[in-house]
Amino acid sequence: MESKADRIIVVKTPEEIRAEDLERLDNFRWIDDTFARSAFKGQPELAEFVLRIITQIPDLIIDPEMFKTQYDAKRLAGSRSLMLDVHAGDTKGRKYDLEMEKSDASPERTEVHVATMIVEHLHEGDRFSDLSETYVIFMSEHDSVGNGRPVNSFSYRNDDLFKGNEEIEKNIIPHASLRGRTHILIVNGDFKDDGSEIGKLIHDFKCRKADEMYFPNLAARTRELKETKEGVDTMCMAMEKERTRSGEEKTLILMLNLMRTQGWNAEQAMNALDIPASEKPLYARSVAHAIAQQKVYAPATT
């Protein structure tokens, strides 16, 4: 077991990080939110294509002015921020939240997304009747509902009316007894391709390779992000933005860059960064280890 006196801070070089990111990129699928956000970014026609298949709304046309990816929805001061993977509105005034969900789409999470969409689009002075028709959609990695259906649709219902009906209570039959304007759609990622459009879409969203996809537009976008220099650089930047480093790692990277660019020794770099005397032995050991490994660091950006 490493003692406190022997502990060092280990950070990866940009080259090591790049190699890991390339491997991660190779394994990305559309159902992975990091990839989906980049794949849909600036591509309203792709979102329109996917949403039409899931919602079965043939006249769905995305308004480019109402299309965003990685949208930070936080209208209420002090409320929790919620990052939406794909947030869109169509020319009929309907609103959409499309989420990639690696774990099961829990009832609690769906309720939070529904509430967020309502707050986001009902403004001061609006009447309740002005509320837009809203679709909250989860592309789930597995069969979150557990009934084998490719898509499960949920709306408001009269519990007393349906009480005792086992099929409805088990969500085997979609039901709606109130004319609610909010629809929750949960896509079953375990659904096996049956040749239908939704079956093909689920298949493509779980594919790693463009050559194995059914839909040419999804395959083309996959190739662009995985096989072109511009696309690979875009994905690596997206992964870098999501990367988290500890405070110690950030400080060590700053030290190493100061030593490299300013020609300083470790003591000078530590003094410039106001590192407390009690922590200097840790950083001195960590710098020595990095130099021994012949690592060169680029400026820290996060």
Same domain, 85 and 43: yes
Are 105 and 194 in a shared domain? yes
Counted domains in the chain: 2
Residues 209, 285: one domain?
no
What pLDDT is stored for residue 216 in this prediction?
A: 98
Is the same domain home to 278 and 201?
no
Provide the residue range defining the domain that includes 99.
31-242
Measured over the CA atoms of residue 22, residue 27, residue 28 and residue 30, the dihedral's sign is positive
Residues 186 and 294 in one domain: no
- Rounded Cα gap, residues 246 and 4, in angstroms: 17
Alpha helices by DSSP H, listed for the chain, are 14-27, 33-40, 44-55, 107-121, 159-162, 166-169, 197-205, 216-227, 229-242, 247-262, 266-272, 280-292
Could you list the pLDDT tens digit for every one of the 302 residues in the chain? 455 668 999 888 888 889 999 999 999 999 999 999 999 999 999 999 999 999 999 999 999 999 998 766 555 444 555 677 898 999 999 999 999 987 766 667 777 777 777 777 666 776 766 677 889 999 999 998 888 999 988 876 555 555 555 554 454 444 444 456 788 899 999 999 899 999 999 999 999 999 999 999 999 999 999 999 999 999 999 999 888 888 999 999 999 999 989 999 999 999 999 999 999 999 999 999 888 876 555 444 43
Burial 161-184 (b: 16+ CB within 10 A, else e): eeeeeeeeeebbeebeeeebbbbb
Angle made by CA atoms 247, 250, 251, in degrees to the nearest 5: 85
Residues paired with residue 68 on neighbouring β-strands, in sequence order = 87
* In a shared domain, residues 8 and 81: no
Could you tell me the pTM of the whole model? 0.78
The pairing of beta strand 95-101 with beta strand 134-140: parallel
Residues 165 and 115 in one domain: yes
Cα–Cα distance, 46 to 39 (Å, whole number): 9
Q: What is the pLDDT of residue 166?
A: 55
Q: Long-range CB contacts (< 8 A, 24+ apart) of 63-71?
A: 63/88, 63/89, 63/90, 63/91, 66/90, 66/95, 69/37, 69/38, 69/40, 69/41, 70/37, 70/41
51 lies in the same domain as 153:
yes
Pair of tokens at residue 255: 């030290």
pLDDT of residue 46: 97
Q: What is the pLDDT of residue 190?
A: 94
Domain finish residue from 191, 225, 242? 242
Indicate if 196 and 163 belong to the same structural domain. Answer: yes
What is the predicted pLDDT for the residue at 118? 72
* 223 and 145, same domain (yes or no): yes
Between the alpha carbon of residue 14 and those of residues 11, 17, 236, 250, 296, the distances in Å are: 10, 5, 11, 13, 8
| End position of a domain, from candidates 208, 224, 242 | 242
User: What are φ and ψ of residue 172, in 5° steps?
Assistant: -75, -35
Q: For 135, which DSSP code?
A: E
Domain boundary among 242, 267, 285: 242
Predicted pLDDT at 292: 82
